[in-house]
Structures are given as structure tokens and as C-alpha cells.
Structure 1
Amino acid sequence: MGRVREVIITSGIPGAGKSTWIRKNTNPYMTEVFSADTYFFNSNGRYHFDPSKLGEAHSSCLKNYTIRLLQLHNDSRPSGDITLVVDNTNTSAWEIAPYYSLAQAFNIPVRIVRIIAKPETAFSRNIHGVEKEKIQKMADRIEANPLPPFWNVVEVPAGE
């Protein structure tokens, strides 16, 4: 059976370095990444972010993650351990909860990697054109709403 070794859920403001952390800290051959960003790539591989479709993008991400979990759970062929990564901002517990709960339902360990970055630094690096004020509000939301203490949360400084 295809086994999911771990689910990693990244959390952090746009431009914090979530995708960079994933590239540096996971094996690309044994990792599958689920991101709302995927929704914004066209058939030619060009990225075009449309904020009006963000809800659709997140729904698509959760759907694809769920389908893959079910496929791996039902796969009887032997294969190596796979890590599934959810690469979104996930600034609130309610954004993380569906991914976390699904992994828990399949008894898969979950690690939340929260990338800590200064809003000014993140603003200068974000590729989505998110306004500085919005990034600051997201950073404030992270600060004001800690995740449940029983979740496995690892805080990593930006650039690590």
C-alpha cells in the first residue's frame, strides 16, 4: 500500500518563504505538494494570480488533497513512503483544520511548519502582489490567534 509518512502543512504570510522551505527540506521524489497556487497556472505553465478566484483555488486544493489521500489509502501496490505537503498561507486554525482532520482520520502524523517573517521582508518577496497592509493584517492574525497547543507546530525563522 502507498503509505503517507507525514502531512506537512505550511503556515505564514505571503512572501515568508513557505515554498522555499519546502524545496529545501523535502525530497522532491517522495513529496507531493498541494497548493491553491496550482489553480492559477494555465496549460502553458504560466502563473496568473486572480484574487477573485481565491475561494475556488482553495476548494480545488482541498479537493485534490482529499482525493490523493483516498487514492493512497486504497492503493494495495507496494510503494515508498510519501510526504504530502499543503503549501498555503494557513494563517488561522480554521484554514488548517480540514487538512489536519483528514490526515488524523487516516492516522497520518501532521506537522505544521509556521514560517515567521517580518511583514516588510515578506512584502518585498511576495509574488502575488499582495498589498503591504493586507500582509500586515495577516501577520497580526497569526500573532493574535495561536494554534491549538495539541497540534504539532514548529516555528521556523524566514530564510531557514
Structure 2
Amino acid sequence: MNAEENNGPSLLLIRGLPGSGKSTLARRLCQADDHFHIEADMFMTDAKGRYRFSATKLGKVHARCEQETRQHLQAGHHVIVANTFSQIWEMQPYLDMAKTLGIPVQIIECQGQFKSIHDVPEHSIRDMHNRWEKLPKP
């Protein structure tokens, strides 16, 4: 279903720890409907397309994620952004973007416990868990 058939664009944010099923859920939702799937990990690849995490690129990667999200939303598309979003401020640019554009936003929190496809070290996952912020009650 395209945005025109569903009253315009929409934004879905999928959050969760590494290995919680964010990417898998986003891919499955995109297979079921005509959505654009964007996540920071997509922009952490080398010339051969292999995932290569780089802490020094995080700011640039997240800025690109936000830029591509805005472009797709302004073009009238449904967009799914799947990132860890362990703290609320990390989602805020997307929430502000949706508000400015008058676009509905939904948030899904994945809580599965699978193996991280990017081999994130356990201590990093534990650090993310320790700083996890719950969503405010509506």
C-alpha cells in the first residue's frame, strides 16, 4: 500500500537492544507493505558492503538516517526507522520531524533476545540496557 492509498506518509520507529529483532521486524513489515526501511547500520558498510562499525562515524551516520527519512516522508512515503534508540533524546529528531511535517508516528519496542547480527559485544549491550529509558505513558 502506498502513502496515497493510506492518507499520506507515516513514520514508524522501531527501538530495541541489539539482537532484539528490530531489523527483522522492519524487513518483514516492508515486505508486507510499500515502506522505506532506514537504519544507521545500513550506512556502516565498507566498499564491499560488509558491516564495519565505527564510533567516529556515528554522528554522520545518524544525520544521514535523519536526512533520508525526511526526504522519503516529504515525498509521501511510509518510513520505518529501526535503531537502538536507548534514550528518548535519540528519537527526538524523528518525533520533531513528524510533528513539523504533520505526519503520524508510531513507536514499537522490540524485546526479543536473539544473537546480534553485528556481533555487538555483551558489555556494550549491557551498557545500552543500563541507560535504557522507558517511553513516557501517553
TM-score class, shorter-chain normalisation, is: 0.7 to 0.9
Task: Give the paired residue count.
Answer: 133
1:99-158 deviation per Cα after TM superposition (whole angstroms, max 9, x unaligned): 1121122222211010114xxx44xx112232211201212222xx222223xxxxxxxx
1:7 is displaced (CA, Å) by 1.0
Cα root mean square deviation, aligned = 2.2
Gaps of 5+ in 1: 73-81, 151-160
1:74-107 CA distances to partner (integer Å, 9 max, x unpaired)?
A: xxxxxxxx42101111111101111112112222
Q: 1:53 to 1:28 in 2, by over 3 A?
A: farther
| Residue 119 (structure 2) pairs with residue 129 (structure 1) | yes
Q: Which has the larger radius of gyration?
A: 1
TM-score by length of 1: 0.72
8 A contact 2:16–2:110 mirrored in 1: yes
With over 3 angstroms needed to count, the CA separation of the structure-2 counterparts of 1:24 and 1:68, relative to structure 1, is closer
The correspondence of residues 66-145 of structure 1 with structure 2, limited to 5 A, is 66-72=70-76, 82-117=77-112, 121-122=113-114, 125-142=115-132, 145=133
Partners of 2:36 and 2:56 in 1: CA distance: 26
Q: What is the percent sequence identity of the aligned residues?
A: 30
Per the TM alignment, residue 50 of structure 1 is displaced from its structure 2 partner at its CA by 2.3
CA distance in 1, matches of 2:83, 2:126: 17
Structure 2: gaps (5+ residues): none
More strand by share: 1
